[in-house]
Structure 1
Amino acid sequence: MFPALLTALSIVALSLGVLGRQTTVVPKSNFVPLHPASTSSSLQLTLVLPPANIDGLHRALYDVSDPQSANYGKHLSKADVEAFVAPEPDSVKAVTDWLAQHSIHAQTVSPSGDMLRIDIPVSTANTLLAANFTVFKDKYSDVTLTRTLSVTIPDDVAPYLEYIYPTTQFVMPLQPKNPPFEVVTLPPKSKRQTDFCAVDVLPECLESYYHIPTTPANATGNSIGVSGYIDEIASEQDLQIFFFAWRPDVPTPPEFTVVSVEGGITSGQGTPEASLDIQYTVGIATNVPTTFYSVGEPSAQGAIDLVNFLLGLDELPLVLTTSYGFFESGFDVDFANTFCNAYAQLGARGTSVLFASGDTGVYGFEFEGTCNTTVFEPTFPSGCPFLTSVGGTTGFDGPEVAADFSSGGFSNIFPQPDYQRTAVQNYLNTIGTLNAGLFNSSGRAFPDVSAQAVRYITEVNGSFIGINGTSASSPVFASVVALLNDARLNSGQPPLGFINPLLYSQGAAALNDVTSGSNPGCGTQGFPALEGWDPATGLGSPDFDKLLALVSGIQPGFSDEIRHSPSKSVFDAEGDIYHLM
């Protein structure tokens, strides 16, 4: 589920002048300058310093994630990762000395020390950066942003500072939309399986179709994290009602933990997105300890703050699912790389990071609903090569079909990683000149995988509602990964961590290939789902039995014994509530 985050930057110019390194941008026409920012108002700015060895981190991530590597599964320690990302002492000194000349003290906000934060008046920021901070309004909403069209970093500081945010970046904060959702009338219990799975998604439908086990997980150290933003919260009461209705095989509904990050709310009446995410993680990954991370900061910085919070922990969640995102065009290369490198750190330490691919098909759209028909619009951060992007499908009564809103395509920032090049090239060879000129065929392609995305029955404040979106797909696929981790942990194996190299090299046969449907938009058919990888459904949806055989090295059939033999148990929806892009 993804807000229409407006495309932000159309021109970026970098120059090295007598005053230093200058960055100048021209925002798109939807951002209208209102007035100069009050000189006494406060700005919170984050300064990002160059990491010592980011290429080394990337190599280490691939080394522990490639099943052909002798180091597969030997995930890095917290200290190992921080050593790759920590800035050089000269960088820290140059930047802090520069700030001290202006009587500014910076706070370190990342575990490795590569991010510093300052709170300063606009007047000081204007002087420090040779800037002119102005209040801009998005003409399609009530959102205002305080930004500048130009910043200058002194020559003696520029080599030691990658960028400062928010200055020239026009990334919209996450914004909820509130269309009416559908209240579902329940049929008698005796008809629920037959009636419901034909049109709706319930735990039993997913368990049956994807062969997901129902007996509780029991491995020590297993965990799953769920990201939450914009005051979304799930309630224990809603979860209990959901379990009583749809998981009667679990006598005591599991609980989940809520952790506040940057002032995120920790209680209140359940809201649709958070309820969906929790009910289809706790309700699918039965008994896997689940934590809901409630992030109070709705801007892009909030997503970075969450990763920094997690990286500061000694024990990370083994799986992290996020149902929120942005449009890629709002990000410059440096800002996008900071996000992507943060997820690389999580992966290197053994966390499987999954993101919903989005609900806008191949096209982004503005708040007023008009389309940019000159180029396809990739979502963000699905274009990052160090995470797993999850698209959407529909249908239980036969082979799945691509959900027509499933976002997918090719990044305009990140190049195509080696692990997916063969699969993507096969697709490009098949479609020939289709959509030629509308996408970057050499970019990182997404989604990687997919799962059901239409009419998830969700309990919210006493009513069952149906919700659509890939923000349902991501929690479900994340739950499958968590259950696979449970089997691995119980057999003395490490968690899966970054799963893309495994999926693209060996996993396609363990997934349900989706070969029908497409993700159209704005008068185009989008990308059709075809045999093999495609930009609508990725490599396909999960088959737990086959995936379990793959990740544990056991023969097919043993997983069925695990699922149904208690003595040998290892572990046993129309809604579009938010468009979060």
Structure 2
Amino acid sequence: MFVDPRTPSHAVPSKFSAFLTLLSVVFAVPSKDPAPEVKESINPPRGWTLRSAAPSHHTIELRIGLPQPDFPVLEKHLYEVSDPFHERYGQHLTKAEVEALVAPHQESIDAVSEWLATHGIGESDIQRSPARDWVTIKVPITLAEKMLDTTYHVWTHDASGDSIVRTTSYSLPKHLHPHIDVIQPTTMFARFKGYKSTIHDIDRSPSLPAFTGDSTNSGAVIDPSCNTTITISCLRQLYSVPSDFTPSAHVGNSVGITGYLEQFANRQDLQSFYADQKPQAVGSTFNFVSVKGGLNDQNASNAGVEANLDVQFAFGLSFPVNSTFFSTAGRPPFIPDIGTPTDTNEPYTDWLDFILAQEKPPLAISTSYGDDEQSPKASPDGLVQDLPSLVHCEFKIPSDGGVGDGDDNPATQTCLTNDGKNQTKFIPGFPASCPFVTAVGGTEFIEPEIGVFFSGGGFSNFFARPSYQDKAVGKFLSALPKGTFEGLFNPNGRAIPDVAAQGERFRVFVGGQVVSVAGTSASSPAFTGIVALLNDVRLRAGQPPLGFLNPLLYTIPEGFNDITIGNNPGCGTEGFNATTGWDAVTGLGTPNFSKLRDLVIRK
């Protein structure tokens, strides 16, 4: 009689129970592991120099990703509840339902646990994600090297001097390969950074021109001062938010901002910003949530330009919607000395772990951080599988750096692949290139509003174009002259950006001073503030929040101001041009709230 060792014991006749136990032990714990086989190997990445062996005192936090066999089912659910033409539109999955769909098979959990046990790592040493699809352990570098049959080194990024501890290859026993998708940090050489362009000036005695009633291509009437200084009032005028529209604080709406790299959001600066631009919000503030020990130092000298920009505009636009600032600890560069024995430069995955464990994450979240798509490698190591799990919220990511490699100066972009081939390619940003987030490009000026030069745009080299983009992006590609940028981009890839918003000359308070800030890291919180207003419209109408936006956005292009001027140079080219309809500079365009309000309420 054959007995499947996965069959529950209560389903097996008692006389076979002892035999079943023996089979389980034999199959689960081989008497001797075969020789390790390479699980992953890469060429030494371009732009990084091997400096030294990893210090023996170093502690590394390994994240082990287990297979998610039902992930395609989760993806199917995500698209159904996000498709405005599907009968399930808006019927978002619960956290428990999502976790059930990303949970690994028990045999994978057992195989990994048993392997860890052979290295002296017990259950009390393990942190598991809510769905048990991620295992996190902290181990000495010497043990990690033994477990993975590898050698770690300290690598230094040539341009910035940032240092990380990584390897270019690791191995696992053959029987574990089907049970482990990825282990990091190993081969991921990402430089997590902000998508801010430059601080242009310090404006100590600002004066704003009088309102004269000019109009723009959005049909709104705009104060001409918005050509030189972007304020909350400018964004509301430019994107057609009625002057008498105020969202509710009592319908369960929420908005969030992520903070990394010791970027602190200063509450006093927020009060100064509100006094200057949103007087009715003076005295209000945001919720602060620490992730992995993240701080929010309120010393004025430590106020972060990025953090202040994000909270002031996202929360200012959406006031009085419930607002949260998340600060996640950890930052590069890692300095391998006795004072910093633990490498903590993986804050992005730490935040994802945290937010996926929450019952009610904010309904719209903006992050202004990321990296070149090729830095996290071909599969950004589980991040892509984590992002669709945020089915209750919409995630905004800026898209910066033109068509180049994220360098704000097109003249210094290298645009070479880091796969050992050193090919010249347009290099999009990640996670903007992930099909499960909304990528936001940048614009400037008001008459007319045009695509700004640093607006990141192009096509993913790793992620296929999602079906929701086929019509709009296909039209853009068919209009490109034959041979345009041939070989420099992947025409079948996920296209970015999806939308755009102003990205220049934002009036921000930092350390008690007024500064002017540029970058798509300004565009992302601005667009997120508009999304929070749209969620208010739906919630007050008794409808569910928008959730994952992209499938909806591409069905309502009439809700956007089409931007037809501008380009995003890089890699020795002029980049793509803004044009009628979707384009790889400004996406569908900038939001027209008055039109979108009617469109989203009908869905």
TM-score, with structure 1 as normaliser: 0.87
Query: Take 1:206 and 1:272, find their aligned partners in 2: how far apart are those partners?
Result: 19
Q: Name the stretch that deviates more: 217-226 or 107-116.
A: 107-116
Residue 386 of structure 2 is matched in structure 1 by 342
> Aligned pairs, how many?
532
Residue 390 of structure 1 is matched in structure 2 by 440
Query: Take 2:139 and 2:353, find their aligned partners in 1: how far apart are those partners?
Result: 22
Q: How far off its partner does 1:274 sit?
A: 0.6
Residue 575 of structure 1 is matched in structure 2 by none
Query: Take 1:333 and 1:176, find their aligned partners in 2: how far apart are those partners?
Result: 21
Residue 321 of structure 2 is matched in structure 1 by 288
Query: Take 1:181 and 1:453, find their aligned partners in 2: how far apart are those partners?
Result: 12
Q: How far off its partner does 1:119 sit?
A: 1.3
Residue 112 of structure 2 is matched in structure 1 by 95
Q: How far off its partner does 1:481 sit?
A: 0.8
- Match among 379, 401, 405 for residue 359 of structure 1: 401
Q: Do the aligned residues in 1 keep the contact of 2:363 with 2:547 (CA within 8 Å)?
A: yes
Residue 3 of structure 2 is matched in structure 1 by none
Aligned in 2, Cα 1:285/1:179: closer, same or farther, shift over 3 Å? Answer: closer
Query: Take 1:303 and 1:212, find their aligned partners in 2: how far apart are those partners?
Result: 33
Query: Take 1:158 and 1:114, find their aligned partners in 2: how far apart are those partners?
Result: 15
Aligned in 2, Cα 1:493/1:310: closer, same or farther, shift over 3 Å? Answer: same
- Match among 218, 233, 237 for residue 264 of structure 2: 233
Asked whether 1:272 is paired with 2:312, we answer no
Q: Do the aligned residues in 1 keep the contact of 2:433 with 2:463 (CA within 8 Å)?
A: yes
Q: How far off its partner does 1:376 sit?
A: 0.5
Aligned in 2, Cα 1:53/1:230: closer, same or farther, shift over 3 Å? Answer: same
Deviations 1:103-155 (A, max 9, x none): 02352342211111111112211211110111222222322221122211101
Query: Take 1:341 and 1:492, find their aligned partners in 2: how far apart are those partners?
Result: 31
Q: How far off its partner does 1:180 sit?
A: 5.8
Q: How far off its partner does 1:27 sit?
A: 1.5
- Match among 401, 425, 438 for residue 488 of structure 2: 438
* 1:32 counterpart SS class: strand
Residue 515 of structure 2 is matched in structure 1 by 465
Letter in 1 for 2:385: N
Residue 330 of structure 1 is matched in structure 2 by 375
Residue 372 of structure 1 is matched in structure 2 by 415
Letter in 1 for 2:536: D
Query: Take 1:174 and 1:481, find their aligned partners in 2: how far apart are those partners?
Result: 24
Residue 28 of structure 2 is matched in structure 1 by none
Asked whether 1:243 is paired with 2:262, we answer no
Query: Take 1:404 and 1:148, find their aligned partners in 2: how far apart are those partners?
Result: 36
Aligned in 2, Cα 1:438/1:251: closer, same or farther, shift over 3 Å? Answer: closer
Q: Do the aligned residues in 1 keep the contact of 2:192 with 2:369 (CA within 8 Å)?
A: no
Query: Take 1:485 and 1:531, find their aligned partners in 2: how far apart are those partners?
Result: 28
- Match among 69, 73, 85 for residue 102 of structure 2: 85
Q: How does 1:410-449 map to 2 (within 5 A)?
A: 410-432=459-481, 433-449=483-499
Asked whether 1:261 is paired with 2:294, we answer no
Query: Take 1:372 and 1:324, find their aligned partners in 2: how far apart are those partners?
Result: 20
* 2:42 counterpart SS class: strand
Q: Name the stretch that deviates more: 453-462 or 31-40.
A: 31-40
Aligned in 2, Cα 1:19/1:523: closer, same or farther, shift over 3 Å? Answer: closer
Residue 496 of structure 1 is matched in structure 2 by 546
Give structure 1 stretches of 5+ with no counterpart.
Answer: 1-16, 555-581
Residue 550 of structure 1 is matched in structure 2 by 599
- Match among 31, 51, 60 for residue 68 of structure 2: 51
* 2:548 counterpart SS class: coil
* 1:475 counterpart SS class: helix
Query: Take 1:197 and 1:172, find their aligned partners in 2: how far apart are those partners?
Result: 34
Residue 14 of structure 2 is matched in structure 1 by none
Letter in 1 for 2:383: F
* 1:58 counterpart SS class: helix
Residue 161 of structure 1 is matched in structure 2 by 180
Asked whether 1:120 is paired with 2:139, we answer yes
Residue 536 of structure 1 is matched in structure 2 by 585
Q: Do the aligned residues in 1 keep the contact of 2:198 with 2:519 (CA within 8 Å)?
A: no
Deviations 1:486-518 (A, max 9, x none): 11111100000011111112x200100101111
Query: Take 1:18 and 1:422, find their aligned partners in 2: how far apart are those partners?
Result: 50
* 2:145 counterpart SS class: helix
Q: How far off its partner does 1:446 sit?
A: 0.5
Q: How far off its partner does 1:305 sit?
A: 1.7
Q: Do the aligned residues in 2 keep the contact of 1:201 with 1:454 (CA within 8 Å)?
A: yes
Q: How does 1:511-530 map to 2 (within 5 A)?
A: 511-530=560-579
Query: Take 1:163 and 1:279, find their aligned partners in 2: how far apart are those partners?
Result: 38
Deviations 1:199-240 (A, max 9, x none): 111111111111124543214210001011111111121111
CA RMSD of aligned residues (A): 2.2
Q: How far off its partner does 1:361 sit?
A: 4.0
Deviations 1:249-272 (A, max 9, x none): x16343111111111112323211
Query: Take 1:377 and 1:176, find their aligned partners in 2: how far apart are those partners?
Result: 15
Q: Do the aligned residues in 2 keep the contact of 1:174 with 1:298 (CA within 8 Å)?
A: no
Q: Do the aligned residues in 2 keep the contact of 1:364 with 1:371 (CA within 8 Å)?
A: no
Query: Take 1:478 and 1:489, find their aligned partners in 2: how far apart are those partners?
Result: 16
Q: Do the aligned residues in 2 keep the contact of 1:229 with 1:298 (CA within 8 Å)?
A: yes
Residue 401 of structure 1 is matched in structure 2 by 450
Asked whether 1:216 is paired with 2:246, we answer yes
Asked whether 1:25 is paired with 2:54, we answer no
RCO higher in structure (CA 8 A, sep ≥6):
1
Query: Take 2:113 and 2:595, find their aligned partners in 1: how far apart are those partners?
Result: 53
Q: What percent of counterpart residues are identical?
A: 37
Query: Take 1:134 and 1:232, find their aligned partners in 2: how far apart are those partners?
Result: 28
* 1:284 counterpart SS class: helix
Q: Name the stretch that deviates more: 52-61 or 294-303.
A: 294-303
Query: Take 1:497 and 1:301, find their aligned partners in 2: how far apart are those partners?
Result: 26
Q: Do the aligned residues in 1 keep the contact of 2:150 with 2:170 (CA within 8 Å)?
A: yes
Aligned in 2, Cα 1:443/1:29: closer, same or farther, shift over 3 Å? Answer: closer
